[in-house]
Chains A and B, each alone.
Chain A
């Protein structure tokens, strides 16, 4: 009855300086759906990759059906009955469904016999679990929901008894997600064990039997789903952090500086990432966008900043419209008073191989201040960089050092100094303190408030709810690409958490 399918003891894993999993213990009971919830970067995916043999734990023990096993590679995982549905599908797009299912489990050197067998087996699985899919369809021609079904079929075809699903609903529409849940319920009733990884509380409540919460690489709690609540889980996920209190006075909002109307963004696969979003940001206020990562905030930011095309909607910058659908020049937006601190400073906001001073002009390299005709005015650039280094206390104070050699916090300060010192009218900031040491966080927060007090319009996106609450004057909550509600920063964490989980928001949006 209380059979344990999977047991983890003291799993520990580091990637260089990042301690991704710290002494993880976990028990998953047979025939249940076990949820693992946590914020992005909490270590969920790493843990599952270890279970699937994709990575090796630095230490710790894995027991499957009570027996210790050394899972060295996905092959061993498959042989002990573990299957995994990856967040980014591991499918060959120009192969048929059948070929994808067979890959790695072909039975014989020549495919013919295997194909016939696979076809029958696939048919059987389809019937048994209600997983219809045309075996001869090409993956690239299938909608995302069906592609995921193929991933599930792949695992079942390999006779997996334990199925790991890593953020399976991230790419699905609500209808597709509901269908997935029915499939999972079916699988459970057939005796399969399912480990379900998500950062969405609603999903945990909807389908899991038990739930374990991860936070910053640690397993902080395991609860019986029926005996817990969204509020409790939200709190466990986020943790009782030292509330970062930022001294800030009342906001005195002025004119509308940034107006977004009906903005819609689709990704390359045609999935809607930002869905008809409208809001305004006035001078002298900070508008925070809260939401669990992956609910369209990044795409919204990029679309406003001109590095991603929108499919519909308008953006007004200082009252003048911006061509959001056509080709936009981020340089022109900068000239019109928009500054952008991107979420991904390593790949977007900085060129890590550049000297600090070279990054201090990225995007502003057309500014005549930095130029002598077509030549760069190196002296002016270095002098400018040194001033910023002093003002933002960037360490080590060396404008000629390679940017890769600065710590995360100092790298972020390089970006902030560049964007803030341009005296923009509108400042949009993504994840201002991600991967930033505590000391720098306070500094960065202060600077953001200062910008507001200077009359800038600040749009802030962060997955750190604390940060949003302590900095913003108004909070918009995004869920599934839509703004599902607006709250004042006095709203409780629980209230915001429910909105972020899409629980309250649905009602509100429907009203």
Chain B
């Protein structure tokens, strides 16, 4: 039973760390399926986390914090969109630039406004998200097997956690069951087909980029309004890149994105859990290896050794009408 308990705890923390990954990877899914590569997920998430922390601290409202997160993240997305769609600049370079600008300005502005060493003030209860307990969770916890699953694994998360996992089928539905999704996927594969069908390639790509901004906003807000009570400098700590890896690992498909994020989240949770504990048969696994595993797996996948990740055909290429 002890093993079972450990497993529930482990899965519970897997869910907790996977949430920002799910949001960010879905964000990347929207732009990349539309043909705009985005390595700026990290920066957008960080900017959103800061905006959320700062706005919530000032207004004492978690909702204003969330809205601020989304606004900042969308604004950053539009900068990326302007550079890569309108100006036809290099999408990688633009993404790198945004990551730096945000990494620097969140600290500078945070320090200037709050003077707490790059943090935003710790948020009071009303200014951050609270966990939601399912009905009778405490009572049901005592039921063997199902009890802990219900009370600890399913219940007791933040609203944003449920939203993140709800966003997986919603994103799927948007991409595969709506007109917008059909066009978005088409523009990432063959913008010429979209253009000749009488649809504006540019506006479509901008809309995809805005979707990305909104989702990164949720990811950032989760970090500073739910996972911790306030913004801490550099708090994304590479999550944007892990999300990018998860997106590739998922071969740009919504359902796979969720499993990839859960897998990478699980590795993260496991790494923390296993610190110093030897595994049977293998012995002690260095925690650094566990941390590197998502990246190693992604490289192996990219190299085509386990299946083949085929990116959207028009990805990374600005659209120019051919003569």
Interface residues of A (CB under 8 A from B): 15, 46, 52, 54-55, 73-75, 77-78, 84, 86, 88, 90-95, 99-100, 102-106, 108-112, 114, 154
The answer to whether B182 and A102 have CB atoms under 8 Å apart is yes
CA distance A168 to B323 in the complex (A): 18
- Asked if A74 contacts B186 (CB within 8 A), the reply is no
The residue in chain B whose Cβ has the minimal distance to the Cβ of A99 is: B182
State whether A93 touches B189 (Cβ < 8 A).
Answer: yes
- Asked whether A104 and B183 contact (CB < 8 A) given A54-B196, A74-B198, A111-B178, the answer is yes
| Residues on B with beta carbons closer than 8 Å to the beta carbon of A103 | 182-183, 186, 193-194, 197, 199
Q: Say yes or no: A15 contacts B323, CB within 8 Å.
A: yes
* Chain A neighbourhood of B179, CB < 8 A: 106, 108-111, 114
Given contacts A110-B178, A110-B179, 5 further A-B contacts (CB under 8 A): A74-B198, A92-B189, A93-B189, A100-B193, A106-B182
Q: Which residues of B lie under 8 Å from residue A104 when comparing CB positions?
A: 183, 194, 197-199
Chosen A-B contacts, 10 in total, with CB atoms closer than 8 Å, are: A15-B323, A54-B195, A54-B321, A55-B321, A90-B193, A104-B183, A104-B199, A106-B179, A110-B177, A111-B179
Top 6 closest pairs, chain A to chain B, by CB: A104-B197, A75-B198, A106-B179, A90-B193, A74-B198, A90-B196
Is B207 engaged at the interface, CB distance under 8 Å to the other chain? no
> In the assembly, what is the distance between CA of A27 and CA of B293, in Å?
67
A111 to B173, CA, bound (A): 10
B interface residues with partner A (beta carbon < 8 Å) = 177-183, 185-186, 189-190, 192-199, 313, 321, 323
Please report the C-alpha to C-alpha distance between residue A104 and residue B195 in the assembled complex, in whole angstroms: 9
In the complex with contacts A54-B321, A90-B190, A94-B189, A74-B196 CB distance below 8 A = yes
Report the bound CA distance from A250 to B306 in whole Å.
64
Docked-complex contact A90 and B182, CB < 8 angstroms: no
Between A54, A84, A104, the greatest number of chain B beta carbons within 10 A of the residue's beta carbon is seen for A104
User: Contact: A95 with B196, CB < 8 Å?
Assistant: no
Residues from chain B with Cβ under 8 Å of A114 in the complex: 179
* CB proximity of B192 to chain A, nearest CB, Å: 5
Residue of A nearest to B198 (CB): A75
Q: Could you tell me the distance between the alpha carbons of A197 and B75 in the complex, rounded to whole angstroms?
A: 47
Is B186 within 8 A of A105, CB to CB? no
List chain B residues, Cβ under 8 A from A102: 182
- State in angstroms the CA–CA spacing of A86 and B177 once bound together: 27
Q: How far is the CA of A112 from the CA of B179 in the complex (A)?
A: 10
B226 vs chain A, min Cβ distance (A): 31
A74 and B193 within 8 A (CB) = no
Partner of A109, one of B178, B196, B198: B178
Q: How far is the CA of A52 from the CA of B189 in the complex (A)?
A: 22
Cα–Cα, bound, A154→B190 (Å): 15
Known: A90-B192, A90-B197, A93-B189. A112 touches B177 (CB 8 A): yes
Chain A residues in 8 Å Cβ range of B178? 109-111
Do A92 and B196 touch across chains, with their CB atoms under 8 A apart? no
Quote the shortest CB–CB distance from B311 to chain A (angstroms): 12
Residues of A within 8 A of B181 (CB): 111
From known contacts A15-B323, A108-B179, infer whether A73 and B186 are also in contact, taking CB-CB under 8 Å.
Answer: no
> Which B residues lie within 8 Å of A100 (CB)?
193
CB-based nearest A residue for B183:
A103
Bound-state Cα–Cα, A73 to B200, Å: 9
Q: Which listed residue, A46, A78, A86, A92, touches B198 by the CB 8 Å rule? A: A78
What is the CA–CA distance of A54 and B321 in the complex, to the nearest angstrom?
8
Known pairs A52-B196, A74-B196, A110-B177; A93 contacts B190 (CB<8 A): yes
| A216 CA to B41 CA, complexed, in Å | 50
Nearest CB of B to A77, in Å: 8
- Which residues from B are CB-within-8-Å of A75? 198-199
A109-B179, A110-B178 known; A74 vs B197 contact (CB < 8 Å): yes
> Shortest distance in angstroms between B274's beta carbon and chain A's nearest beta carbon?
40
Contact B186 A92 (CB under 8 A): yes
Q: How far is the CA of A92 from the CA of B183 in the complex (A)?
A: 10
Known A109-B178, A111-B178; judge A95-B199 contact (CB<8 A). Answer: no
How far in angstroms is the closest Cβ of chain B from A106?
Answer: 4
Residues of B within 8 A of A86 (CB): 192, 196
| Max chain B Cβ within 10 angstroms of own Cβ: one of A55, A95, A154 | A95
**Which of A54, A74, A92, A94 gathers most chain B CB within 10 Å?**
A92
Q: Given A93-B313, A104-B183, A104-B199, A111 and B177 touching (CB < 8 A)?
A: yes
Nearest A residue to B186 by beta-carbon distance? A92
User: Cβ of B195 and Cβ of A95 under 8 Å apart?
Assistant: no
| Shortest Cβ gap from A447 to chain B (Å) | 31
B213 to chain A, nearest CB (A): 21
Closest to A100 in B: B193
Min distance, Cβ A268 to any Cβ of chain B, angstroms: 14
Query: Which residues of the partner chain B approach A74 to less than 8 Å between Cβ atoms?
Result: 195-198
Inter-chain CA distance A55–B186, complex, in Å, is: 21
| Closest beta carbon of chain B to A167's beta carbon, Å | 15
The CA of A61 and the CA of B177, in the complex, are separated in Å by 41
CA distance A100 to B192 in the complex (A): 12
| Neighbouring B residues of A95 by C-beta, 8 Å | 185-186, 189
Chain A residues with CB below 8 A from B183, complex form: 103-104
In the complex, A94 Cα to B181 Cα: how many Å?
Answer: 14
A55 neighbours in B (Cβ, 8 Å) = 321
CA distance A102 to B190 in the complex (A): 15
**Shortest Cβ distance from A79 into B: residue:** B198
Q: Whole-angstrom distance from the CB of B173 to the nearest CB of chain A?
A: 9
The residue in chain B whose Cβ has the minimal distance to the Cβ of A110 is B178
> Nearest Cβ in chain A — how far from B189, in angstroms?
5
Instruction: Please state if A105 and B313 are interface contacts (CB–CB under 8 Å).
Output: no
Measured CA separation A435–B174 after assembly (Å): 49
CA gap between A36 and B151 in the complex, in Å: 74
CA distance A250 to B72 in the complex (A): 78
Q: Are A92 and B177 in contact (CB under 8 A)?
A: no
Q: Hey, which chain A residues are within 8 Å of B185, CB to CB?
A: 92, 95
CB pair B198–A73 under 8 Å, yes or no, is: yes
Q: Complex: how many Å from CA A93 to CA B185?
A: 11
B182 touches A111 (CB 8 A): yes
A54 to B196, CA, bound (A): 7
Contact present for A92 and B193 (CB under 8 Å): yes
